[in-house]
Amino acid sequence: MVHRSTGCLLCVKRRVKCDEKRPSCMRCERYGKTCPGYDRGFKFVTAKPHRSQRRPKQSNFTEGQSWAAPVPGDASDADHENTGVWTVRRLSSDLGDLYVTQCLDKLTDEISQPFPTTSGYVISRWFLLFPSIYGRNRTLDSAMKAFVAHHVGNVTLNKQAIQYARSTYGEALGRLRKSLSSSSEALSSEIYCSVLILCLYELFADTDRGDVWMSHARALSQLTEARGPSRYQTELDNILLKASRGLIVMYSLFGGTECIFASDEWHSVMKQQGNPGLSFELGNLVEEFFAYFTLSPSLVHKLYSLKEADFANPATLAKLAELLKEALEFQEKLALWYDKFCHATPAPYEVLSSTGDTVYPIVLWYSDVNSATIYCSYYSYMVLIHEILRTCGYPGEHRAMVAHFRDQICKSVEYTAQGLLGPYRMGFALRVAWEVADSVTKQWIRGCLRTFSEFYSVMREENY
C-alpha cells in the first residue's frame, strides 16, 4: 500500500534523500551498496478506542512493585465501583499474584465496554479466560503482566506503570525465547497464548515505529502452522485460533506471504466448535466470510504486482486476465453472502453524528458490534474488488463504488471504534479507507489518528 516515503529501502533506512532512479538509485551505488529497490510490502495500523473521561489517580509506582485494583474495603472502593477508575498502589511482593488476578478481572470486565460482554464473541471469550489460566506458565504470566500493566498505566496516566510494563515485556520476550526452544513447551496452548498477547501489547504500546507487531504476528503464523490443525480441537485452543486468525491474515497481507488459512482444512477446523454468542446461522455466515477473507492477501499481492507492470507485455496481460476472473468470481460470491447476511442480522441505519462532524454529519449505527465488525470487513473487501476491476479496465462505475464503500467505513468509526478493543476491530478497514481517500477524507482520517493514538499508539500518523 502507499507509503509516505517513495525512496528505495536503503535510502529510507539511512534517512537520506533518494534520487528514485529505477531500477536502482545512484545514491546506493555511490554508497557502495546494491540498491534493494522500492517494494516495501505493507504496514498495518489500528485505531484508538473511545473511552469515557476518567479521573487519573497518582501513585508512587516504582519498578519491582506490584500494581493492582483497589484493596476490598479500601476508602477508594466506592470510586472504583462507581467510575471504573483503576488505581495503582504499593503492595508487598507476597500479595503480587493476588492483585494481578484482580487486575485481570477488572480488565476482562472492560474488554467489551460499552457493549454487552457477549458482543465480542471471540475477543471477549479469550480475555475472559485470562484469570483462569494465570499461574500456569511463567512466560504466559509475564506476557499478561506486561499487557495489563500497560493498560493500567494508560488509564491512570501513570508513566511508571507503563515503564514497568515495558520492563516486564522484555522479561516475557526472554522467557518466550527459552520456551520456544523447549520441546515440551513450544507447541503448548500457554506459549501460543503468550505470543498472541505480546502481539496485542505491541499494537497498544507501539514500541518501535509500528512494525514490531509484525514480528509477533509472523511468529504466531509459524507457530499455528507448526502446531497443525489437529491441535485446535479443545475449546481453549479453538478460541485462541479464532482470536489469532485476524492478525495472521494481516501478517500475510502486509508481509507479502501466502496465508496459511487459505485451505479447506483450516476452514473446517475453525467451524468445528461454533461461535457462542452468535446464532447458528450467523456464526456460519461469519465463518463463510472469514474463509473468503483468507483469500484476500493473494488478490492484494496480485493487484500491487500489476501497479507498475508493463501492460504491453503479453505475460502482464495474462496475469491481468487471471486477476480479473478471480475478482469477478469473488464479487459474485460476496453478493450472495451479503444477501444472506442482511437477512440474518439487521442492516445499519443512519443517525446524526453525536460529535457534530462536518465531513460525516450522518453516521452508521449498528444492532451490535459483531455485525458492525463484519459489515466493515465487507466494505473493505468491496473496496479491494472494485479497485481491482478498475485497474483491470472492467466496465463499471468502480471509482464511485470505491468512494461509496470508503465512506461506509468512515461512517462506521463512531460506533465501531468504541471501547478498549474498538481499534482492533476497526483498524484494517480504516487503513483501507486511507489508501483510497481523497484529500478531504484523508484529512478527516488524520484527525482520527491524532485522537486515537493517545491510547492505541500504533495508530500514529507517521505509521501510515
| Phi, psi dihedral angles at 279 (to 5 degrees) | -65, 160
Position 57 scores a pLDDT of: 38
Q: Are 448 and 356 members of one domain?
A: yes
Query: Which residues make beta-bridge pairs with 363?
Result: 351
Would you say residue 51 lies in a domain?
A: no
Is residue 464 within 8 A of residue 212, CB to CB? The reply is no
Would you say residue 453 lies in a domain?
A: yes
Query: Which residues make beta-bridge pairs with 352?
Result: 362
Would you say residue 54 lies in a domain?
A: no
Q: Are 165 and 19 members of one domain?
A: no
Cell numbers describing residue 238: 479453538
Position 25 scores a pLDDT of: 77
Q: Are 5 and 93 members of one domain?
A: no
Question: How far apart are alpha carbons 342 and 281 in whole angstroms?
Answer: 12
Q: Are 155 and 291 members of one domain?
A: yes
Position 47 scores a pLDDT of: 36
Domain total of the chain: 2
Is residue 116 within 8 A of residue 233, CB to CB? The reply is no
Q: Cα dist. 461→11, 360, 412 in Å? A: 21, 20, 20
Q: Are 4 and 108 members of one domain?
A: no
- The two most distant CA atoms of the chain are separated, in Å, by 77
Query: Which residues make beta-bridge pairs with 350?
Result: 364
Q: What is the mean pLDDT of each run of 10 residues along the chain (464 residues)?
A: 60 70 69 67 36 38 37 35 37 49 77 74 77 91 91 83 91 96 94 95 79 90 95 90 92 91 92 79 91 93 85 88 94 96 94 94 94 94 95 94 98 91 86 94 92 80 78
Q: Are 216 and 321 members of one domain?
A: yes
Q: Cα dist. 89→45, 106, 112, 204, 456 in Å? A: 33, 15, 26, 23, 24
Q: Are 357 and 458 members of one domain?
A: yes
Q: Are 9 and 152 members of one domain?
A: no
CATH of the domain at 13: 4.10.240.10
Q: In a 3-state reduction of DSSP, which class is residue 418?
A: strand
Q: Are 107 and 232 members of one domain?
A: yes
Q: Are 9 and 82 members of one domain?
A: no
250 contacts: CB under 8 Å, gap ≥ 6? 44, 217, 428
Cell numbers describing residue 251: 501478517
Instruction: Give me the sign of the Cα torsion angle 27, 460, 64, 179.
Output: negative
Would you say residue 216 lies in a domain?
A: yes
Position 118 scores a pLDDT of: 66
Q: Are 36 and 116 members of one domain?
A: no
Task: Say how many CA atoms lie within 13 Å of 332 toward its Cβ.
Answer: 5
Nearest in space to 290 (alpha carbons), one of 121, 162, 96, 433: 121
Position 33 scores a pLDDT of: 67
Question: How far apart are alpha carbons 93 and 65 in whole angstroms?
Answer: 7
Would you say residue 151 lies in a domain?
A: yes
Nearest in space to 207 (alpha carbons), one of 286, 150, 284, 268: 150
Instruction: Give me the sign of the Cα torsion angle 404, 410, 414, 420.
Output: positive
Would you say residue 379 lies in a domain?
A: yes
Domain housing 160:
77-463
Q: Are 36 and 90 members of one domain?
A: no
Would you say residue 94 lies in a domain?
A: yes
Would you say residue 59 lies in a domain?
A: no
